[in-house]
Amino acid sequence: MRSVYLLLMILFTAISCAGLPGPVPIERPLSLDVDDNRCRIPFPDRAGQFVHSIRAAMPGGHQAVMIGITAVFPETGTIECVMMTIEGLVLFDARYDGRMTIHRAMPPFDSMDFARGLIEDIQLIFFPPDGPLIASGIADDGAFVCRYRTDRDRTIDIVLHGDHLWEIRQYDPDSRLIRSLKTDPGSRGPAERQDPIPARLKLTAFGPSEYALTLDLIE
């Protein structure tokens, strides 16, 4: 149990981004007159609850496994999330609807910094960017790219590859990569718009405190 606490405490520490790659080069820009519906493909368009097995990998080969239960409501931006051990002990239980309501938070998950960081990662996974579309087009590898600028002066690239594979890349105000969320080529999600969540997602945080989370969809 203590190893799970220590690993997750490290996961949500602040990270530095020096020397990291910048936004995806767009070789063939497209018109911004209309926000292309393809930019919404990675995100649910209706309320739903998702249960994931989450495997955390840290430098040095350290790993931890937990269960995450997330309910999202795209129309309102509301999030309800629970994190628990595989034995069923609830580590964190909160609701976000523009303000944070924490129902349960066991140390070291009882800080507001942890809660905010967790909500930001959930928003990256399940919600379209909250800012305007500033660029779109085709990358040199043929991928379709939508680029957004958020209200926190961050940039988000949504990169759509063939065969229903996609990646979401988040950059800091200096355009350095801080998060990458990818579908797993070995577990492609369904093509239907009504259920876009793939069977496996990989979230990577970059910097000196790098970590990777593999989310396997259970339900």
How confident is the model over 19-44, as a mean pLDDT? 78
What confidence score (pLDDT) does residue 45 get? 86
> What confidence tens digit (pLDDT) does each residue in 59-114 have?
777 788 999 999 999 999 999 999 999 999 999 999 999 999 999 999 878 889 88
**Which has more confidence, 98 or 208?**
98
Mean pLDDT computed over 14-23? 51
Of 116-120, 189-193, 199-203, which gets the smallest average pLDDT?
189-193
Q: What percent of the chain has pLDDT over 70?
A: 82
Percentage of the chain modeled with pLDDT above 90: 51
CA distance 51 to 58: 22
Which pLDDT band holds residue 143 (cuts at 50, 70, 90)?
very high
Cα separation, 61 vs 181, in Å, equals 21
Burial track 83-113 (b if 16+ CB lie within 10 A, e otherwise) = beeeeeeebbbbebeeeeeeeebeeebeeee
At 19 the pLDDT is: 46
pTM of the model: 0.83
Of 174, 192, 157, residue with least CA distance to 41: 192
